[in-house]
Amino acid sequence: MLLRKIFLAMNEFSTKFRVYLEDTDAGGIVYYVNYLKYMERARTEWLRSLGVEFEGLQHFGCQFVVHSVQANYKKPARMDDELIVTAQVEKLGRTYVIFKQRVLKQESVLCEAVVKVACVDVDSLRPRVLPDVLKQPFLAVESAAS
């Protein structure tokens, strides 16, 4: 179990974003929904780093949709802040992936969330099993952690 936790911690993807005026409210504080946008971008960049792009998903007849989000907002981000946004796979199901995500300013956690992303059929939008080619990066994490 400890080895699994260590490996998952190593599996954390991160990317940087800058806060722009369009991200803030009238008080210069990042509007709460924009944290979710930053997290979406981090998940997309994480998939891209694994060689999975949007067109690739379409090729397999599937797409990812957010099923649910549980977010905790701790501190505000402000105009011009440089943020680090992380994405880490917490659980892989047959038809979904659960991500643990954080938005940080330097070492300080501003927002953290658990995001469940479902794999659905492009045409019917009904849940479908993750294609094997998309499962491989997740399975590598699982087997290395065992």
As annotated, the active-site residues are 25
CB 64 within 8 A of CB 117: yes
Per-residue tokens: 73: 């907002």
User: Judging by DSSP bridges, how do beta strands 13-18 and 108-121 pair with one another?
Assistant: unpaired
Nearest Cα neighbor of 38 from 90, 106, 86 is 86
Burial of residue 16 (number of CB atoms within 10 Å: 0-12, 13-18, 19+):
exposed
